[in-house]
A and B are shown apart, each in its own frame.
Chain A
């Protein structure tokens, strides 16, 4: 994997890079930087050479307080090119980096302020474009809840639905294992760095088989972090077509991770919620009308699928007739192709970012993608 200057710049200023003893830009700061730059037709790569005063001038979208912080952080990292060896070696060991331009539409349901500048991953990223069932729940779910979870995960396999979870003990692991053991696919966003996971030979096997995708916004060797565990809830809720809540407490003095994630989902309306069992949280969701009892995959997934299919085939038809029209009008093949790419690029921008990169320069699309996270 070769990186563009923009990607290297993104990594240099946004990655944790603890070894450099400097601080990365936050997501919000990074967004401000990219927006400001693009307003002046500049791209992240200018950050390598920009002087503090030039940068101050360029940061049109930043507040005064932000400006000072951003300038300081960028100046502190500008000359640390040696630290980019980390990026090279991560990839050398078989990990991937997914910058925003390469993120699939399912992740882009998150608003810009929640999306990290990049994810670390291992495994087949196309798993993200399958129909997805999120599974969340307490570590200490009871035996009954666990066996029902496993049963549903198993059925997901035969329905072509993949499981996404946080990789914690209990519900998360039960769902993922049931899917993988039955030949299904799964996505895990662990609360610790990916390195620890990849050292397990069973995990490596599932990844090499194309069954498992691990993703994380944390550095690879990060230890378990409670705050990141909270943050990652959205990576599970947002890309899911539906989320199954199997068991949850309600946050009191002590916050419940499962519950907080669910509340966030309700607030942002990322995906419909389904429940099983009768834990405290599950009961409340039902009472408040925020979730339905889990019924069957047919019911949950069919509807959204068929609408998607319909629009897809409508578009296909339209394209065919347009192309025919163009030929009839005597347009040249190259011109048609170019037009077609331009138009479809607009339509599918979110969808097929990575394929578009071949047509337009990667830099270009990256800068744009950074901005098109709004919704």
Chain B
């Protein structure tokens, strides 16, 4: 029926792949279609060809919601082949309101046929207002598993898509596509689409060579990665869950002469697009990333995907390895697993997906009692962690229980509140089950591809004959033998790699710049690492920090201070006081001073009845509490000195920053460098 159109693009011999013509036909009849087909099947062909025909019929443009940040050269080329024009709106190429309005005008004037936007943009009210002017004929949701799988918690942005699907008039066709969905997800998407046709094929990818390795320590994983990046060819992606781990891994790789960069949600959009482009153009060899890099990213020749941590579900895992081997015959996907830590991190993510009901109630109650409220008043009124408060507000906004006006003030809507707790719990239960499925994957003796595709309910799931399970001893795509020298190098790196303490620059109470700011400081360890756990035992079990900690601290500080050109002989160590454990830190600090052979002076003290720092959940309360309690008790002269402030754990950094502020006000020409045994941030 549309063969002629296909052949106009792909040549006289082209034929449709199974299901493509059905999908196009349904779209042209303004039906709703869900396509579940593996990467490379030709999903974009469906919407590009359909767009072409719709445009010939005088219909509006195709709007594609895709997690893709920017169009790649590749995609622009491919739309040219179809004789249609694609554009996207993102923060890099069309930042201003005018530029964006121009894109919409071009679409309405027939100069552009396909518009790509990201789901996040749908959260922006101005943007939705602009999109209201767009004349569309086809609405496409790419990576549609997100409207089911993540839609409700990690990616609340997809909730708006759900709304659109409920209200879009029947003269607009809808296409949802995904390469990764099990039956549950398919049912869920289909329910959201309403009456729809499902085009589903098998998921097995011929180009992927799967492998998994048990490596229970960070040292072994780092060593394996360094060794195998020499072994593997081409460029690739390493998934590592936390931002800190991504950054540390990227440093490690660079140190091993591998051109790598970290990619995570802490970066702004421009930087992310730049990194994606640099990987695409092979300027970078490896991106070490969190799930922030995901589905939209499309490079033809990704030849390896390595998982440093086990992902949270089969859907997520398959999605991520699916980035590999799109346009090449062979790509290696390796899961590194083992160790307590990875389970802890994933469980943390799973169980903290939703805020506590008690906190939600607090926020709602306050909004109920008031007209319009700024976020800062909410922070002041309630003891809720700032990121949790953000999460609560976002959830409540999405559920329609609160609104936000153009001046960023929040207000309660008239929608009666129904607790979402049982729903949240059911989502958490489901996540626990899905994570378990991947933990079972670690142990499985089945073909790895068969395991994954059958977990995705692929009816044609079968053994692949190329994974490390199928091949057994014949597997030679990686080198899994690590010698003690490999591991020693990592230990050395961990040792030298500084965990920095950045100063706070602005008061959370007054929102003014702080007058005195400390130097970049140092933490000996992360809380979850061995030394961090040694410090935990010292504080909570033995009430004394061990010599191991004193010596490790001294070693690391010597090197660190030398690099900062601080003369240890002139250094003064000042402990952070505590009324709860008055001896613990001073005693340690004094031993450290003896080991380093520098001065030791107690200057600061605390007023009584200070609440425990970790019980205060947001910056404003934390800073205020420290300001209320910390003071200079002992006015010795330390003008012109370099001071090392010593504490056990650092989390919010307010203690160091306020202590600096106090000292800086009294003494002249001093520098202050903070030091803590462990960085506990993000590990509560």
Work out how many contacts link A and B, with CB atoms closer than 8 A: 103
Q: A93 to chain B: which residues have CB within 8 Å?
A: 400, 403, 413-415
Residues of A within 8 A of B172 (CB): 79, 81
Q: Are B171 and A198 in contact (CB-based, < 8 A)?
A: no
**A contacts with B: majority SS:** helix
* CB of A229 closer than 8 Å to a CB of B: no
Q: Which of the residues A45, A88, A95 comes within 8 Å of B163, measured between beta carbons?
A: A88
A3 is an interface residue with CB less than 8 A from chain B: yes
Contacts of B561 in A (CB 8 A): none
Among A19, A45, A87, max chain B CB count under 10 A is at A19
Confirm or deny: B665 has a beta carbon within 8 angstroms of a beta carbon on chain A. Answer: no
A5 touches B414 (CB 8 A): no
Contact present for A201 and B413 (CB under 8 Å): no
Q: Is A78's beta carbon under 8 Å from chain B?
A: yes
Report the separation of the CA atoms of residues A356 and B370 in the bound assembly, to the nearest whole angstrom. Answer: 40
B228 within 8 A of A: no
Cα A83 to Cα B135 with chains together (Å): 10
Interface size on A, residues (CB 8 A): 37
* CB-based contact A85/B167 at 8 Å: yes
Cα(A49)–Cα(B57), bound, Å: 13
* Interface residue range, chain B: 35 or more
- Is the beta-carbon distance between B415 and A20 smaller than 8 angstroms? no
Cα–Cα, bound, A2→B369 (Å): 31
Q: Are A12 and B169 in touch, CB under 8 angstroms?
A: yes
For residue B438, give the distance in angstroms from its CB to the closest CB of chain A: 35
Q: Is the CB of B403 within 8 A of A81?
A: no
Q: Which residue of chain A has its CB nearest to the CB of B172? A: A81
Q: How far is the CA of A101 from the CA of B675 in the complex (A)?
A: 72
The answer to the question of A92 belonging to the interface, with a C-beta cut-off of 8 Å to chain B, is: yes
Query: Is B134 located at the chain interface by the 8 A CB criterion?
Result: yes
Task: State in angstroms the CA–CA spacing of A8 and B167 once bound together.
Answer: 8
- Is A200 a contact partner of B371 (Cβ separation < 8 A)? yes
> How far apart are the CA atoms of A81 and B411 in the complex, in Å?
28
Which residues of B have CB within 8 Å of A2?
A: 166
Give the residue of B133, B369, B370 whose beta carbon is less than 8 angstroms from that of A21: B133
Q: A82 interface residue, CB < 8 Å from B? A: yes
Q: Is the CB of A82 within 8 A of B63?
A: yes
Q: Which of B38-46, B124-132, B387-395, B607-615 contacts A (4 or more CB under 8 A)?
A: B124-132
Whether the Cβ atoms of A3 and B167 lie closer than 8 Å is yes
What's the Cα separation between A314 and B12 when bound, in Å?
Answer: 80
Chain A residues whose C-beta falls within 8 Å of the C-beta of B371 in the assembled complex: 199-201
Per-residue CB contact flags for chain A residues 64-108 toward chain B (1 = under 8 Å, else 0) read 000000000000001111111111110011110000000000000
Q: In this assembly, does A276 line the interface, its C-beta being within 8 Å of a C-beta of chain B? A: no
Whether B213 sits at the interface, judged by CB under 8 Å, is: no
Q: Measured between alpha carbons, how far is A19 from B130 in the docked complex, in Å? A: 7
Cβ contact within 8 Å between B415 and A5:
no
B134 surroundings in chain A (CB, below 8 A): 80, 82
Is there a chain A Cβ closer than 8 Å to B119's Cβ? no
Closest residue to A92 on the B side, CB-wise?
A: B400
The answer to whether A113 has its CB under 8 Å from any CB of chain B is: no
Question: Given that A85-B160, A201-B370 are contacting pairs, would A94 and B414 also be in contact in the complex, using a CB cutoff of 8 Å?
Answer: yes
Interface centre among B169, B371, B415 (most CB of A within 10 A): B169
A48 CB within 8 Å of chain B: yes
**A:1-51 near B, CB below 8 Å:** 2-3, 5, 8-9, 12, 17, 19-21, 45, 48-49
When A12-B169, A93-B400 are in contact, do A201 and B412 touch as well, CB less than 8 Å? yes
Is A164 interfacial (CB 8 A cutoff)? no
Which partner residue on chain A sits nearest B122 by CB separation?
Answer: A85
Q: Tell whether, in the assembled complex, residue B170 and residue A83 are in contact, meaning their CB atoms are under 8 Å apart.
A: no
Binary CB contact string for chain B from 424 to 460 against chain A (1 if under 8 A, 0 otherwise): 0000000000000000000000000000000000000
- The residue in B132, B135, B139, B166 that gathers the most chain A C-beta atoms within 10 A of its C-beta is B132
Taking CB as reference atom, which chain B residue is nearest A76? B135
- Nearest chain B residue, comparing its CB with the CB of A22: B133
A204 & B132 in contact (Cβ 8 Å cutoff): no
A87-B403 in contact given A20-B133, A80-B134, A199-B372 (Cβ < 8 Å): no
20 CB-based A-B contacts, threshold 8 Å? A9-B169, A19-B132, A45-B170, A79-B60, A79-B136, A79-B172, A80-B133, A81-B139, A81-B168, A81-B172, A82-B164, A84-B168, A84-B169, A85-B164, A86-B132, A89-B400, A93-B415, A94-B415, A201-B368, A204-B368
Q: Which residues on A are within 8 Å of B, measured CB to CB?
A: 2-3, 5, 8-9, 12, 17, 19-21, 45, 48-49, 78-89, 92-95, 122, 198-201, 204, 207-208
Query: Which 9 residue pairs are nearest across A and B when measured between Cβ atoms?
Result: A94-B414, A79-B135, A83-B132, A94-B415, A92-B400, A48-B171, A19-B129, A79-B60, A93-B413
| Interface of B toward A, CB cutoff 8 Å | 59-60, 63, 128-137, 139, 160, 163-164, 166-172, 368-372, 400, 403, 405, 411-416
Given contacts A48-B170, A94-B416, A199-B372, 16 further A-B contacts (CB under 8 A): A5-B169, A8-B167, A9-B169, A17-B132, A19-B132, A49-B170, A49-B171, A79-B59, A79-B172, A81-B168, A81-B169, A89-B400, A93-B413, A201-B368, A204-B414, A207-B414
